[in-house]
DNA sequence: TGGAGTGGGC
């Protein structure tokens, strides 16, 4: 039996198909499939390694198959995301000679596959089977899995009903409720579940804190994040690496890079994920050189970078215009670290070369990629074509994107803007009409700024805020100062509509980020940084205005747009006008 | 009984 137990250990830790086959031979030679249920484990291993044909062959060859054997097969399919195969196996299992009925483990695996596949009909069918089986009253894990599945497919009403009706709730149920509300855009409700979970006396665990940190990001209020940080300290969870990593990531996403760095420095022996999170923070904030230094230090301390580390490192190089460095790391990632570039890395490289004006080189890389280019890769090329006014290549990228993402309006807008920028107004209007015909609408630009424990939202030309008169007065004052002190002229080339120059100027002066900046100047004390979030990318004129404000008003501003952070101080931006 | 197993850091 010692032999079998060591074989089981080898199966558990096996990561190569070669070793797996060797182990399979050993089992065939020395023991039977039923010894220590080793056959079931081999089936699981083959599936884990992605060799489902071998798994199925072995499964059919096994002399005896009990419920656990079937569950091993179903669970293996589920982990690979093969929803159809899960159902096929379930049906075969129920029709088999022994007529096995699914138990809670079968349901958990199948529901997992439904979550992965975001599949509505199949999930409902499983819910029906679960109800029929009667496990719902006693198996909290199955209840939680169903709550999660309903939430992930957008049916919060059913999630809440299951949660309310269940008599077997546990901490996982509460944590799931927090997360699914957040995922459905209801961060405030997620926070309410977190508070209730505390109030009823649940002892919060790592997952609870990780969930609430994500909720904080969704709500976007720094004071709330600081409150949760306090709670983490009080609960003694600050020594937990996962939570500390989540916290540093949160501060970075809220524009507080210095706080991220403080949290990172307090982590004892940070692991690869913590190092990577800090690297990601430098990357999105545009501090390319700091990101590289951080990466070199990470390697120096013997921490192995993974494919995510390289995504952020390449993105840092791209955002900071460090072309040579980016190319160097793209090469070394496979040569020195044995990490083969994935789609994300190619997106970063196309972005890096495209932003620097090497459009043809970027296009060549796409053609030479060993895998099919994704929308991210083509999107990076399209963005670069927009910056450098390359209509011809832009059309090629856009056409591919229309195939890959037919329902994403941003690609149509981008192409239309490329046409507008080169004065091809007819083509621009044709593209916008095409977008309308498809029923796609353009997302409205809005900017958010925190003040007095509240997030204030502004849209273009917004007069809805009670302080609007003061805000507009401040905006006028800034414009006057910019004109008189810096000789600034509105960058109306950023208005891509075929209208008169004065109309263009009026449009650009009312952008949501400008209104938010004026509000920040009025409401936020001189010593504080003005932090603004924008859902779309910042426009060129607003970027210039933020630089001017930082100089004239002697203020520090941070603007997070849909892609990255911009830190404005003393008349310049951390992106060095390169974004 | 066991071997299969809900939420959860970059």
Based on the domain organization, do A428 and A491 belong to the same domain?
no
Highest mean pLDDT among A16-30, A69-83, A401-415: A69-83
CA distance A54 to A445: 52
Q: Which residue has the higher pLDDT, A563 or A94?
A: A94
DSSP H/E element including A21: helix A17-30
Q: What share of chain A is helix, strand, coil (3-state, %, to 5)?
A: 70, 5, 25
By C-alpha to C1' distance, B3 is nearest to A37
CA distance A102 to A68: 10
Other C-beta atoms lying within 10 Å of the C-beta of residue A53: 8
How far: A105 CA to B3 C1' (Å)? 12
How far: A279 CA to B9 C1' (Å)? 14
Instruction: Examine the fold and report which residue of A396, A411, A442 is the final residue of a domain before the chain moves on.
Output: A442
Q: Closest nucleotide to A173's CA, by C1' atom?
A: B7
Supply the range of the domain harboring residue A534: 447-573
Is A424 strand, coil or helix? coil
Q: What is the mean pLDDT of residues A73-102?
A: 93
Look at residue A540 in the predicted model and tell me its pLDDT. 85
Based on the domain organization, do A462 and A433 belong to the same domain?
no
Q: What is the mean pLDDT of residues A421-435?
A: 87
pLDDT band at A76 (very low <50, low <70, confident <90, very high): very high
By C-alpha to C1' distance, B9 is nearest to A242
Based on the domain organization, do A568 and A506 belong to the same domain?
yes
Q: What is the mean pLDDT of residues A380-404?
A: 91
Domain assignment present for residue A394? The answer is yes
How far: A338 CA to B4 C1' (Å)? 34
Domain assignment present for residue A334? The answer is no
Based on the domain organization, do A408 and A460 belong to the same domain?
no
User: Does residue A119 contact residue A147 with C-beta atoms inside 8 Å?
Assistant: no
Domain assignment present for residue A58? The answer is no
Domain assignment present for residue A240? The answer is no
CA distance A44 to A61: 15
Mind listing the pLDDT tens digit for each residue in A301-349? 999 999 999 999 999 999 888 999 999 999 999 999 999 999 999 999 9
Mind listing the pLDDT tens digit for each residue in A177-206? 999 999 999 999 999 999 999 999 999 999
Look at residue A539 in the predicted model and tell me its pLDDT. 85
Based on the domain organization, do A534 and A568 belong to the same domain?
yes
pLDDT band at A434 (very low <50, low <70, confident <90, very high): confident
Based on the domain organization, do A414 and A461 belong to the same domain?
no
Look at residue A73 in the predicted model and tell me its pLDDT. 95
pLDDT band at A579 (very low <50, low <70, confident <90, very high): low
Q: What is the mean pLDDT of residues A231-258?
A: 95
Instruction: Examine the fold and report which residue of A442, A462, A496 is the final residue of a domain before the chain moves on.
Output: A442
pLDDT beyond 90 at A428: no
Q: Closest nucleotide to A141's CA, by C1' atom?
A: B6
Domain assignment present for residue A257? The answer is no
Q: What is the mean pLDDT of residues A362-380?
A: 94
Based on the domain organization, do A428 and A463 belong to the same domain?
no
Based on the domain organization, do A396 and A412 belong to the same domain?
yes
By C-alpha to C1' distance, B8 is nearest to A207
Q: What is the mean pLDDT of residues A89-112?
A: 93
Domain assignment present for residue A428? The answer is yes
Q: What is the mean pLDDT of residues A517-531?
A: 95
Based on the domain organization, do A430 and A497 belong to the same domain?
no
Domain assignment present for residue A565? The answer is yes
Mean pLDDT of chain A: 91
Query: What CATH number does residue A419 fall under?
Result: 1.25.40.10
User: Does residue A578 contact residue A321 with C-beta atoms inside 8 Å?
Assistant: yes
Based on the domain organization, do A436 and A458 belong to the same domain?
no
Look at residue A136 in the predicted model and tell me its pLDDT. 79
To which residue do tokens 């009823």 refer? Answer: A200
Highest mean pLDDT among A7-16, A111-120, A170-179: A170-179
How far: A44 CA to B6 C1' (Å)? 20
By C-alpha to C1' distance, B5 is nearest to A105
Instruction: Examine the fold and report which residue of A422, A442, A462 is the final residue of a domain before the chain moves on.
Output: A442
Domain count for chain A, please give it: 2
Based on the domain organization, do A405 and A453 belong to the same domain?
no
Domain assignment present for residue A451? The answer is yes
pLDDT beyond 80 at A551: yes
Based on the domain organization, do A455 and A368 belong to the same domain?
no
How far: A77 CA to B6 C1' (Å)? 17
pLDDT beyond 60 at A1: no
């Amino acid at each position: 039996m010692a032999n079998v137990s060591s074989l089981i250990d080898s199966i558990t830790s096996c990561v190569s198909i070669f070793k797996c086959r060797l182990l399979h031979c050993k089992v065939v030679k020395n023991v039977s499939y039923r010894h220590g249920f080793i056959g079931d484990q081999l089936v699981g291993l083959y599936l884990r390694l992605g060799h489902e044909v071998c798994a199925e062959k072995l499964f059919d060859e096994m002399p005896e198959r009990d419920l656990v054997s079937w569950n091993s097969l179903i669970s293996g399919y589920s982990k690979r995301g093969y929803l159809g195969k899960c159902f096929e196996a379930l049906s075969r299992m129920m029709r088999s000679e022994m007529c096995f009925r699914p138990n809670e483990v079968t349901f958990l695996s199948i529901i997992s596959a439904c979550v992965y596949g975001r599949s509505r009909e199949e999930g409902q069918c499983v819910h029906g089977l679960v109800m029929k089986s009667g496990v719902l009253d006693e198996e909290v894990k199955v209840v939680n899995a169903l709550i999660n599945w309903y939430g992930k497919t957008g049916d919060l009403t059913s999630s809440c009903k299951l949660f309310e009706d269940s008599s077997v709730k546990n901490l996982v149920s509460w944590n799931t409720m927090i997360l699914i509300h957040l995922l459905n855009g209801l961060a405030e409700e997620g926070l309410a579940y977190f508070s209730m979970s505390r109030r009823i006396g649940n002892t919060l665990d790592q997952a609870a804190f990780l969930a609430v940190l994500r909720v904080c990001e969704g709500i976007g209020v720094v004071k709330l994040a600081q409150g949760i940080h306090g709670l983490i300290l009080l609960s003694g969870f600050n020594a937990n690496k996962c939570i500390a990593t989540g916290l540093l990531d949160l501060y970075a996403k809220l524009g507080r890079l210095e706080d991220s760095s403080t949290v990172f420095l307090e982590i004892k022996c940070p692991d690869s994920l913590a190092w990577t999170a800090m690297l990601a923070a430098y990357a999105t904030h545009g501090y390319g050189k700091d990101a590289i230094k951080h990466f070199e230090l990470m390697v120096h301390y013997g921490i192995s970078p993974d494919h995510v580390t390289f995504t952020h490192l390449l993105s840092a190089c791209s955002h900071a215009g460090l072309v040579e460095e980016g190319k160097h790391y793209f090469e070394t990632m496979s040569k020195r670290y044995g990490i083969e570039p994935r789609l994300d890395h190619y997106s970063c490289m196309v972005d890096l070369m495209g932003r620097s004006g090497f459009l043809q080189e970027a296009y060549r890389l796409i053609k030479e990629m060993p895998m099919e280019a994704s929308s991210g890769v083509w999107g990076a090329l399209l963005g670069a074509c927009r910056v450098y006014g390359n209509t011809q290549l832009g059309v090629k990228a856009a056409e591919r994107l229309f195939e890959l993402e037919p329902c994403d309006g941003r690609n149509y807008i981008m192409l239309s803007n490329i046409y507008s920028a080169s004065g091809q107004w007819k083509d621009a209007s044709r593209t916008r009409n095409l977008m309308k015909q498809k029923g796609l609408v353009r997302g409205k630009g809005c900017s958010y700024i925190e003040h007095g424990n509240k997030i204030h939202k502004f849209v273009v030309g917004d007069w809805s805020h009670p302080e609007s008169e003061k805000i507009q007065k401040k905006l006028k004052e800034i414009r006057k100062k910019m004109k008189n002190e810096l000789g600034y002229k509105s960058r109306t080339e950023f208005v891509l509509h075929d209208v008169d120059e004065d109309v263009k100027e009026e449009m650009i002066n009312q952008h949501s980020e400008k209104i938010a900046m004026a509000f920040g100047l009025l409401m936020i004390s001189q010593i504080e940084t003005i932090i603004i979030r924008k859902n779309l990318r910042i426009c060129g004129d607003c970027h210039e205005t933020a630089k001017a404000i930082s100089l004239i008003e002697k203020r520090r501003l941070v603007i997070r747009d849909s892609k990255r952070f911009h830190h404005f101080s003393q008349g310049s931006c951390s992106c060095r006008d390169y974004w």
